[in-house]
Structure 1
Amino acid sequence: MAASPTDETMPIDPDQSIGATARVVIDTLFARIKSEEYPVDTRLPSERTLASELGVARNTVREALDVLEARGVIRRRAGSGSFVTYRSDTPQSPSVGSIASETSPLDHLVVRGILEPEIVRLAVINMPPRAIEDLDKTLSRLEAVRTDVAEFVQLEEEMLLKIARGTENPLLASCYELAIEASHQSFRSALLRRHLTPNRIQDAQRRYNTLFNAIASRDVEAAVEFVKLNLMEENRLLLQDD
């Protein structure tokens, strides 16, 4: 039986080309997520299972999942599936997706240049020892990646978000979460495919190890300097891409 629309719909940008059937699948899955039939952090059924259950093609389910991921409702993990990130008690603003879609690579880098030095400075000062231990575990997983770009990016984002939350400033962390969501736009994916070679992944792993050591040793100057140099390198790659 084909999926049918629900009262729980998710706003889609007017200029975004979404098929009618995919639109129904999006609304159906979003309604289930919002009602906590699929609670936060749980894994969604496989694409094959959803396609069979909803009576649609797998590529339609994949299209719907692409939209849900772009809006921050789910997060895909390579080899593991799609996991719910949406929290019904803190609904996302309908404008978040449109803000992210209108953000250029340069806009994104400018915002990071404003946020990241202060985030790292406050994290060095405020991050609890237990949070630093947890950050170390994420770093170990990141350092184990060899060639999987998607896995590396997912762990990189996880590490950066943990640092942002380590500031103990929820508003600042939320601002950075929006910046991370903006990075999920297609320009970011294209840049990563071109620039994240195995050698560059290894270089980034060494740099994140340096950042972690600066945070763990409470070295504000070294941590902030790392962030500035990292942003300069990303700016160089962006200009090179242009």
Structure 2
Amino acid sequence: MPELTERMGASALQDTLSRDLRADRWRPGERLPTERDLGARYGVARNTVRRALDALEQQGLIHRHVGRGTFRAEPPPAAPAAMEESLSPSDVVECRLIFEPEMISLAVARADQADIARMGECLRGTDEAADLATFERWDAALHDAFAAGTHNGAVIAMSRSLARVRERTDWGQLKARGNTAEHRAVLQAQHHAMVEAVRRRDRAEARRVMREHILFVQDYMFGD
């Protein structure tokens, strides 16, 4: 992301932070850097940062607490997802096979250090998960971190729409079929390889491993 100069002022800083917030650089409820840190990062004075944050708060994108800091606001409740309820898990996996290899390729090109740190956090969560529900939650969060790393609102929205199918009972039953130590080890090796490819900015490898990963999931969820 390009550095801002003081001449660009509060309006330019507001636009830049607004894009980052809408692209989920910071997750809902996550604390943003301090005004001093934001000023240093973007090369502007603290009063410029304060004016930009004032405008973002009025838009409902952030909220501030005296003595605690500035936080990403929770998004408004989503509209009922009737279409997502009608999608079969097998159709969703096929769509992911088409979509997610290119998604992670774009993340390789655009993810910043904060995005990569979030991927690492999700990876640790999957490593340490003691049960399937916890593993699935961190697994979904890792794929969401890949989507957020694209900094493309349409990609993020599409990824989250597909991910909501993971919350259904039928999906959980199918995933439980493959909840073995051997399958978990393969999934984790693939997760680590994908995050490492993002860190190394290797688009071809990230695309290859993501495709291999989804084919593996497809095989144990729907294979004989």
Match of 1:122 among 106, 109, 129: 106
Q: 1:199 aligns with which of 182, 188, 205?
A: 182
As a proportion of its length, which structure holds more helix? Answer: 2
Q: 1:11 maps to which residue?
A: none
1:176 pairs with 2:159: yes
Partner of 1:93 in structure 2? 79
Please list the CA deviations of residues 80-137 of structure 1 after superposition, one character each: whole Å capped at 9, or x if unmatched: xxxxxx94x534123x1x2222111221112212220121011000000121122112
Q: Is the 8 A contact 2:110 2:151 kept in 1?
A: yes
**Any runs of at least 4 consecutive aligned residues in structure 1 with deviations exceeding 2 A, and if so which?**
none
Larger displacement relative to structure 2 (182-191 or 137-146):
137-146
**Would the aligned equivalents of 1:100 and 1:185 in 2 still touch at CA under 8 Å?**
no
Instruction: Verify: 1:141 aligned to 2:125, yes or no.
Output: yes
**Structure 1 counterpart of 2:173, from 171, 190, 209:** 190
Give 1:137's aligned amino acid.
E
- AA aligned to 2:162 is A
Assess if the C-alpha contact under 8 Å between 2:177 and 2:220 holds in 1. no
- Unpaired runs of 5+ residues, structure 2, are 1-27, 30-72
Aligned partner of 1:218 in structure 2 is: 201
Bigger RCO of structures 1 and 2 (CA < 8 A, at least 6 apart): 2
**Corresponding residue for residue 228 of structure 1:** 211
Instruction: Tell me if structure 1 keeps the 8 A contact 2:197–2:205.
Output: yes
Alignment of 1:95-114 (within 5 A): 96=81, 98-114=82-98
**Size of the alignment, in residue pairs?**
155
How far did 1:187 drift?
1.7
Q: CA deviation at 1:239?
A: 3.2
CA RMSD, aligned part only?
Answer: 2.0
Instruction: State TM-score, norm by structure 1.
Output: 0.59
Q: Tell me the amino acid that sits aligned with residue 136 of structure 2.
A: V
- Measure how far apart 1:198 and its partner are: 2.3
